[in-house]
Amino acid sequence: MIYQTIIGHQAYRFEDLKTLLAKASPARSGDELAGLVAGSAEERMAARIALADVPLKRFLEEALIPYEQDDVTRLIIDSHDAFAFAPISHLTVGDFRDWLLLDSTDSKTLTAVSPGITPEMAAAVSKLMRNQDLILVAKKCQVITRFRNTIGLPGHLSVRLQPNHPTDDLQGIAASMLDGLLYGAGDAVVGINPASDSLSTLTPLWEMMDELRQHFDIPMQTCVLTHVTTQIKAIEKGAPVDLVFQSIAGTQKTNDSFGVTLSLLQEAHDAARSLKRGTLGDNVMYFETGQGSALSASAHHGVDQQTCEARAYAVARTFKPLLTNTVVGFIGPEYLYDGKQIIRAGLEDHFCAKLLGVPMGCDVCYTNHAEADQDDMDTLMTLLGVAGLTYIMGIPGADDIMLNYQSTSFHDGLYLRSVLDLRRAPEFEAWLTRMSITEPSGQLRDINREHQLLRALPHLPGAA
């Protein structure tokens, strides 16, 4: 189907829906690399005008990637909830934007229609929105999940404690863990990106984190972010696995490049739930995504990178994860060139995921060869905090010494909670108070060398 609009005496024609979506996207280096961008600001605006008139129903009729060729497309179409879609089924993309911004479209309403919204619909409407629109609507979307604590409550912000080490050294990881806990971080998850994929190296990481958790009765969850097949093997061998992690993407070919299938994710999900380790809930999956992953795998099918990213959220919501986050600036400037593009992408990702019912955090990050700096990250982090972000990363000094990129620190979580009056997960916050780490108000207390967490470090297995 041809989509077109006329501006003055100039007619603009777009040969199919994926071309229209790509041309309507805000400029970014990844789409330019793929040859998908609008040729001018005028063509981009023409595409947005045409996109605004597209009925939402059209996205159920015209697949961007053929149904027969892509299991993510099949998942999106086969799982679509027609009943939930009914209240908005008469809208165009432009009407949908206006409806989302209405005061009467509240959290309860958005939760009800969420199963009827496809990723392509979410991506399309985001392309018509200003940054403030993305923030306003995302703020209204509430996605609450539970394992050993409750994540995503309004007025709360969690932090993933990320104690990575370039050699998986137990002592170094344990020290970073305790550092983060004493800053009140870790209520999202204590998650290690390991340097090794050997079970003989990884199993002690799970065991050390679990021993610390049990010894101090910490209402938190842990994760080792290795490949899903390794985690399934670890479960089979009796390792204390809480959450199962996997990077996912929005096309079958990209997931193939990760060594992942939908059936494999289902196997991992079922294996983790069979352990029954959660005390408050059974949201057992942890997913990471990022704009540009499909293009970097030459698996984007001519679809713009933000729409590909939104399609990954359809995969995520199928498995009802505890956590999902976009690693927004990690892939590099080939896909998001500078701070402006990273900021826009982070707001888009958060909006689309929350609109689709996915518990969304963000690794507010950049690589050192991008045209970005920590001030850009402060801006994005603050905007996302206003937008109701589920969680951020907490990394010692904001500098990941294993993955070699710049992210956010334990102090950044303190900053966001202070300026936006946000709290930690309630169960975790109560524990911090019991442990004399924070005041009942949530503020940190002064910690001396005799604090029981610091005295525990020499006694952790392998961490002395």
| CB atoms closer than 10 angstroms to residue 109 | 16
Phi and psi (nearest 5°) for 447? -110, 130
**Of residues 318, 373, 243, the one with CA closest to residue 71:** 318
Size (the chain), residues: 464
Model confidence pLDDT, tens digit, residues 218-255: 999 999 999 999 999 999 999 999 999 999 999 999 99
pLDDT for 463 equals 53
Interior angle at CA 250, CA 97 and CA 323, nearest 5: 80
In DSSP notation, 264-326 reads HHHHHHHHHHHT---SS----EEEEE-TTHHHHTT--TT--HHHHHHHHHHHHHHT--SEEEE
448 a known binding residue?
Answer: no
Mean pLDDT per 10-residue section of the chain, whose length is 464 residues:
92 97 97 97 97 98 97 98 98 98 98 98 98 98 98 98 94 92 97 95 96 95 98 98 98 98 98 98 98 96 98 98 96 94 98 98 94 96 98 92 89 97 98 96 91 79 56
180 contacts 429 by C-beta, under 8 angstroms: no
193 a known binding residue?
Answer: yes
Model confidence pLDDT, tens digit, residues 264-303: 999 999 999 999 999 999 999 999 999 999 999 999 999 9
Q: Which helix (H) or strand (E) holds 139?
A: helix 131-140
R_g of the chain, CA atoms, integer Å: 22
pLDDT for 43 equals 97
Model confidence pLDDT, tens digit, residues 4-57: 999 989 999 999 999 999 999 999 999 999 999 999 999 999 999 999 999 999
402 a known binding residue?
Answer: yes
**Of residues 31, 32, 42, the one with CA closest to residue 5:** 42
In DSSP notation, 329-359 reads TSS-TTTS-BHHHHHHHHHHHHHHHHHTT--
CATH of 143-433, one of 3.20.20.70, 3.20.20.80, 3.40.190.10, 3.30.360.10: 3.20.20.70
The neighbouring-strand residues paired with 406 are: 366, 399
pLDDT for 286 equals 98
pLDDT for 88 equals 98
Cα gap 280→149, rounded to integer Å: 6
**Of residues 21, 11, 32, 94, the one with CA closest to residue 63:** 21
296 a known binding residue?
Answer: yes
pLDDT for 462 equals 59
414 a known binding residue?
Answer: no
161 a known binding residue?
Answer: yes
Q: What is the pTM of this model?
A: 0.96
Mean pLDDT, rounded, of the chain: 96
